[in-house]
Amino acid sequence: MSRYVSKRLSRIEAYTPGEQPQDKKYIKLNTNESPYPASPKVVEAVSADAVARLRLYCDPECKKLTQALAGLYGVGEKNIFLSNGSDDILNFAFMAYGESGVAYADITYGFYPVFAELHGITPTVIPLKEDFSLDVEGFKNQNKLVVIANPNAPTGMEISLSDIESIVLSNPNSVVVIDEAYVDFGGTSAIPLTKKYDNLLVCQTYSKSRSMAGARLGYAVGNEALIADLNKIKYSTNPYNVNTLTQLAGVAAVEDNDYYLGNAQKIIATRVYVIGALEQLGFEVLPSKANFIFARSPKISGLELYLKLKERGVLIRHFEKARIKDFNRITIGSQQEMEIFISKVTEILGE
Ligand SMILES: *Cc1c(COP(=O)(O)O)cnc(C)c1O
């Protein structure tokens, strides 16, 4: 870093994204992308014509996309916020609602501590219970911004809507953000509760179940006033943060929603296969409602398994954090990819 940088920025430890290696072709099970391509309708929407129109600025209101999502979720257009990936929305939420601090779990999405630091917000870290489930009681009466990934990452575990409702009710003077990046893989969305509570914001993304991680598109659903807050930040930084091609792709994806729900069902079926196969190999696998599983083996360390799989062309995610260093997070790819993964794991354990 340069000697000109602010003290605050020099202290920040930036988020480490999962590897996106360009050296050779891996079976990529490390960043929870979909193994399935975009819908043909999405491919069609991003036409040569649309590319030619890139000379013009995009629609900062994302009108058509807002209408499509409002229709999909049965909410008003003023209840939808769109941005450049849900990371962007989380960043805005920390900026808007973190004045009295923020509460999140010890084992959760690695970006939350980065946003807290970036905005100078004091975090209250609430440890997951012994079995890695969320400590619901711990999140009550915090009276500060509450951020919960549900299903959680990297555990894959979910809390119930009634637990979410009790957390929202017990924090009446602060905002509760539910990050639903993985909800389409068997979870239950809290979106319907946003009609009842004006302090609940639900974020979702096109990056996982909708096969569009590279397009950068996320959305939030909530009370009109919350959406207005987020728009104020967006219009104070970069109103054009969802580009024209991504907006077109986003609308086409909503129009072909069944295709994506079908893919999610395939991933759920493959998840059942992978969990069964790993358990047969002696792994402990946490219950997952996501497109990944979190597993550890008594026979091999998390780091060693990660390294040996990488040598064999399979990438999974290993975290250094003490409490979870025995585990690996494994994205559920296609059935064929996962059969190769299981055969490589079997080979490694047999050595
Ligand atoms: C992947 C992920 C996101 C980020 O999604 P983008 O829309 O790609 O920015 C947010 N939250 C969690 C928990 C995630 O795993």
pLDDT tens digit string along 131-184?
Answer: 999 999 999 999 999 999 999 999 999 999 999 999 999 999 999 999 999 999
Q: pTM above the 0.95 mark?
A: yes
SS3 category, 203: strand
Minimum-distance ligand 1 atom for the alpha carbon of 205 = 7
- Nearest CA to 183 out of 144, 157, 211 is that of 157
Comparing CA positions, the residue from 184, 321, 350, 202 lying closest to residue 261 is: 184
Give me the long-range contacts of 20-28 (CB less than 8 A, separation at least 24): 21/315, 24/313, 25/313, 26/310, 26/313, 26/314, 26/315, 27/313, 27/314, 27/315, 27/333, 27/337, 27/340, 27/341, 28/315, 28/331, 28/333
Name the nearest CA neighbour of 112 among 101, 229, 132, 206: 101
Query: Atom 5 (ligand 1): residue with closest C-alpha?
Result: 86
- Is-contact 184 147, C-beta < 8 A? no
CATH code for the part of the protein at 41-256: 3.40.640.10
Instruction: For a ligand 1 pocket test, name from 84, 180, 202, 205 the mutation site with the most ligand atoms within 8 angstroms of its C-beta.
Output: 205
91 lines ligand 1 (CB under 6 A): no
CA distances from 251 to 143, 209, 210 (A): 37, 15, 12
Non-local CB neighbours of 122 within 8 Å, separated by 6+ positions? 101, 102, 116
Cα distances (angstroms) measured from residue 148 to each of 65, 106, 111, 164: 26, 11, 12, 9
CA distance 41 to 316: 31
Would you say the C-alpha torsion 107, 112, 116, 122 has a positive or negative sign?
negative
Average pLDDT over residues 81-110: 98
Domain 7-37+258-349's class?
Answer: alpha beta
Which region among 12-26, 98-112, 130-144 has the lowest average model confidence (pLDDT)? 12-26
By the 8 A CB rule, do 26 and 313 touch?
yes
DSSP 118: H
> How much distance in Å is there from the Cα of 348 to the middle of ligand 1?
31
281-340 pLDDT, tens per residue?
Answer: 999 999 999 999 999 999 999 999 999 999 999 999 999 999 999 999 999 999 999 999
Question: In which residue are the tokens 């480490």 written?
Answer: 16
Pocket test for ligand 1, best of 15, 109, 293, 317 (most atoms within 8 A of CB): 109
Q: Is the CB–ligand 1 distance for residue 213 below 6 Å?
A: yes
Ligand 1 atom 14: residue of nearest CA: 181
The arithmetic mean of pLDDT across residues 266-289, rounded, is 98
- What is the dihedral angle through the alpha carbons of 181, 187, 191, 194, rounded to the nearest 10 degrees? -100
Domain boundaries, the chain: 7-37+258-349, 41-256
Confidence of residue 21 (pLDDT cuts 50, 70, 90): confident
Cα–Cα distance between 151 and 141 in angstroms, integer? 22
* pLDDT confidence band for 24 (50 / 70 / 90): confident
Q: How many whole angstroms separate alpha carbon 198 and alpha carbon 122?
A: 24
* Ligand 1 lined by 292 (C-beta under 6 Å): no
Residue 32's pLDDT is what?
Answer: 97
